[in-house]
Structure 1
Amino acid sequence: MKYYSEITEWGEEALMFLEDESLNFIILFNHGAPEELKEVAVLHSKSEVLSPLVAGDTLYFGDKQFEITAVGEEAQRTFKELGHCTLCFNGESEAKMPGYINVKGNEKISAADIYVGCQIKII
């Protein structure tokens, strides 16, 4: 396992990006993120990234499974240091922004899949 964490809370506006089909992402940050970021972020328990994330890795978000299709050039560092990335559910093979981690899966993720204690695992 490369990474394991659990969702601790999220801001009032954090799920609006997920609900917009043209965006379809969430912003992740370690618990304890600055107040100005909490409003738009899904916070999770701080955990160590045990090895670099690469396309082909498997992300488990609760009971849903996704394949990582792209990792932006800054996402490795920010995820390791701050637990921060923009997790895009678009399945694209190139990250449009440096902090993006793109994933694809057979099931769509929704606001109902975001809950306190939801496990985030990367294998």
Structure 2
Amino acid sequence: MSIIYQTTFSKIGEFAPDALTENMLITFKQGAPADLEDYCFIHSHGELTADIQAGDILDIDGICYPITAVGEVASFNLKELGHVTWRFDAAAEAEYPGTIHVKGDTPNKIKVGSVLSIKRI
């Protein structure tokens, strides 16, 4: 298994945890526009070495979530902006172009220092 992306969360926007209650995790790299930062989990931004695809694995602090669908601009957005909306609904097709869907229970809490990785089998 190889890691195609890895980052560490450095800040949690005031309203970002609210999205978790709606089965979403919204990420953005450091330097996000101020009006978006309050709604995002801000991270240090790593290098995406390959486009994300269904079958890859999202790993948050050692908990693995199989990726079930990837929106057509999600890899580009992650690479350029560190911005993705992760949906914990196991959808087989992406709801929006910048969304990545995964299978598994939504994390209860993500903290500063939590590590997000994307792995390829």
TM-score (normalizing by structure 1): 0.91
Structure 2 residue 116 is matched with structure 1 residue 120: yes
Match of 2:42 in 1: 43
Describe the SS at the equivalent of 1:37: helix
Cα distance in 2 for residues equivalent to 1:108 and 1:101: 13
The alpha-carbon deviation at position 91 of structure 1 amounts to: 0.8
Cα distance in 2 for residues equivalent to 1:117 and 1:12: 16
Match of 2:9 in 1: 7
Structure 2 residue 86 is matched with structure 1 residue 87: yes
1:49-88 pair list within 5 angstroms: 49-88=48-87
The Cα RMSD (Å) is 1.0
TM-score (normalizing by structure 2): 0.92
Cα distance in 1 for residues equivalent to 2:11 and 2:103: 24
Do the aligned partners of residues 7 and 17 (structure 1) sit closer, same or farther apart at CA in structure 2, a change above 3 Å counting? same
Cα distance in 2 for residues equivalent to 1:108 and 1:78: 22
Cα distance in 2 for residues equivalent to 1:108 and 1:80: 23
Q: What percentage of residue pairs aligned between the two structures are identical?
A: 38
Cα distance in 2 for residues equivalent to 1:97 and 1:14: 19
Cα distance in 2 for residues equivalent to 1:92 and 1:56: 13
Match of 1:18 in 2: 20
The alpha-carbon deviation at position 12 of structure 1 amounts to: 0.8
Match of 1:109 among 83, 107, 110: 107
The answer to whether the Cα contact below 8 Å between 2:24 and 2:106 also exists between their aligned partners in 1 is: no
Cα distance in 1 for residues equivalent to 2:47 and 2:62: 21
The alpha-carbon deviation at position 10 of structure 1 amounts to: 1.3
